[in-house]
Amino acid sequence: MTANDAPELIPPANERTSELPNESAAWLKPVRWQTFPRDFVVIQIGFALFALAIAFLIQSQLGTSPWVVLEVAVIKYIPITPGQSGILTGAVVLLLALALREPVGWGTVGNIICIGLWEDVALRYLQI
Protein backbone atom coordinates (compact mmCIF):
# COMPACT_ATOMS: atom_id res chain seq x y z
CA MET A 1 0.00 0.00 0.00
CA THR A 2 1.39 3.39 -0.96
CA ALA A 3 0.58 6.80 0.45
CA ASN A 4 -1.72 7.45 -2.52
CA ASP A 5 -3.74 4.29 -1.76
CA ALA A 6 -4.30 5.11 1.93
CA PRO A 7 -7.84 6.18 2.85
CA GLU A 8 -8.35 9.78 3.86
CA LEU A 9 -9.05 10.14 7.57
CA ILE A 10 -12.05 12.37 8.15
CA PRO A 11 -13.39 12.91 11.68
CA PRO A 12 -17.10 12.25 12.26
CA ALA A 13 -19.42 15.16 11.55
CA ASN A 14 -20.01 15.83 15.25
CA GLU A 15 -16.26 16.10 15.92
CA ARG A 16 -15.28 18.31 13.01
CA THR A 17 -14.03 21.74 13.91
CA SER A 18 -14.70 24.62 11.63
CA GLU A 19 -11.76 26.54 10.32
CA LEU A 20 -11.07 29.42 12.62
CA PRO A 21 -11.19 32.71 10.76
CA ASN A 22 -8.99 34.28 13.40
CA GLU A 23 -5.65 32.54 13.87
CA SER A 24 -5.19 34.08 17.35
CA ALA A 25 -7.53 31.46 18.84
CA ALA A 26 -5.77 28.50 17.21
CA TRP A 27 -3.95 27.69 20.46
CA LEU A 28 -7.21 26.85 22.25
CA LYS A 29 -9.03 23.61 21.53
CA PRO A 30 -12.80 23.93 20.91
CA VAL A 31 -15.36 23.19 23.63
CA ARG A 32 -18.15 20.67 23.05
CA TRP A 33 -21.01 22.63 24.58
CA GLN A 34 -23.52 19.78 24.26
CA THR A 35 -21.67 17.68 26.84
CA PHE A 36 -19.91 20.44 28.78
CA PRO A 37 -22.11 20.45 31.95
CA ARG A 38 -21.79 16.68 32.41
CA ASP A 39 -18.09 16.73 31.58
CA PHE A 40 -17.52 19.60 34.02
CA VAL A 41 -19.13 17.72 36.92
CA VAL A 42 -17.25 14.52 36.14
CA ILE A 43 -13.90 16.27 35.81
CA GLN A 44 -14.46 18.20 39.07
CA ILE A 45 -15.05 14.92 40.91
CA GLY A 46 -11.81 13.60 39.42
CA PHE A 47 -9.91 16.78 40.33
CA ALA A 48 -11.25 16.65 43.90
CA LEU A 49 -10.22 13.01 44.34
CA PHE A 50 -6.79 13.67 42.86
CA ALA A 51 -6.30 16.68 45.15
CA LEU A 52 -7.43 14.62 48.13
CA ALA A 53 -4.77 12.03 47.28
CA ILE A 54 -2.14 14.79 47.07
CA ALA A 55 -3.29 16.17 50.43
CA PHE A 56 -3.01 12.70 52.00
CA LEU A 57 0.52 12.39 50.64
CA ILE A 58 1.53 15.80 51.98
CA GLN A 59 0.00 15.13 55.41
CA SER A 60 1.59 11.68 55.69
CA GLN A 61 5.10 13.17 55.33
CA LEU A 62 6.27 9.84 53.91
CA GLY A 63 7.23 11.15 50.48
CA THR A 64 5.32 12.01 47.37
CA SER A 65 5.59 12.69 43.64
CA PRO A 66 8.21 15.06 42.19
CA TRP A 67 5.64 17.76 41.31
CA VAL A 68 4.24 17.81 44.85
CA VAL A 69 7.77 17.95 46.24
CA LEU A 70 8.30 21.01 44.03
CA GLU A 71 5.03 22.55 45.31
CA VAL A 72 6.06 22.01 48.94
CA ALA A 73 9.57 23.33 48.26
CA VAL A 74 8.18 26.52 46.69
CA ILE A 75 6.09 27.26 49.81
CA LYS A 76 9.28 27.20 51.89
CA TYR A 77 10.41 30.34 50.02
CA ILE A 78 7.12 32.04 49.11
CA PRO A 79 4.36 32.44 51.72
CA ILE A 80 1.57 30.70 49.79
CA THR A 81 -0.41 27.47 50.23
CA PRO A 82 0.49 24.18 48.53
CA GLY A 83 -2.52 24.52 46.22
CA GLN A 84 -1.49 28.03 45.20
CA SER A 85 2.01 26.71 44.61
CA GLY A 86 0.56 24.02 42.33
CA ILE A 87 -1.36 26.66 40.41
CA LEU A 88 1.79 28.78 40.09
CA THR A 89 3.97 25.91 38.83
CA GLY A 90 1.19 24.75 36.50
CA ALA A 91 0.88 28.26 35.08
CA VAL A 92 4.62 28.37 34.39
CA VAL A 93 4.44 25.02 32.58
CA LEU A 94 1.36 26.23 30.66
CA LEU A 95 3.23 29.34 29.52
CA LEU A 96 6.08 27.13 28.31
CA ALA A 97 3.61 24.97 26.37
CA LEU A 98 2.06 28.06 24.80
CA ALA A 99 5.52 29.34 23.88
CA LEU A 100 6.07 26.03 22.07
CA ARG A 101 2.73 26.57 20.28
CA GLU A 102 1.09 23.52 21.82
CA PRO A 103 -2.72 23.59 21.64
CA VAL A 104 -4.25 23.85 25.10
CA GLY A 105 -7.64 22.49 26.08
CA TRP A 106 -10.02 23.73 28.73
CA GLY A 107 -9.28 20.60 30.75
CA THR A 108 -5.63 21.64 31.01
CA VAL A 109 -6.53 25.08 32.33
CA GLY A 110 -9.12 23.54 34.65
CA ASN A 111 -6.55 21.04 35.86
CA ILE A 112 -4.12 23.79 36.79
CA ILE A 113 -6.66 25.91 38.63
CA CYS A 114 -9.07 23.39 40.15
CA ILE A 115 -6.65 20.81 41.50
CA GLY A 116 -4.82 23.55 43.39
CA LEU A 117 -8.08 24.87 44.84
CA TRP A 118 -9.33 21.39 45.78
CA GLU A 119 -5.92 20.63 47.29
CA ASP A 120 -6.16 23.62 49.61
CA VAL A 121 -9.71 22.61 50.62
CA ALA A 122 -8.57 19.06 51.38
CA LEU A 123 -5.52 20.22 53.36
CA ARG A 124 -7.68 22.59 55.39
CA TYR A 125 -9.96 19.74 56.54
CA LEU A 126 -7.16 17.16 56.94
CA GLN A 127 -5.21 19.15 59.52
CA ILE A 128 -3.96 16.79 62.18
The domains of the chain are located at 62-128
Residue 62 has a pLDDT of 84
Are 29 and 106 spatial neighbours (Cβ–Cβ below 8 Å)? yes
Residue 24 has a pLDDT of 47
CA quadruple 120, 121, 126, 128: dihedral, nearest 10: 60
In this predicted model, what pLDDT tens digit does every residue of 16-55 receive, in sequence order? 555 544 444 566 677 788 888 898 899 999 999 999 999 9
Q: What is the mean pLDDT of residues 85-103?
A: 91
Are 10 and 85 spatial neighbours (Cβ–Cβ below 8 Å)? no
More confident residue, 111 or 8: 111
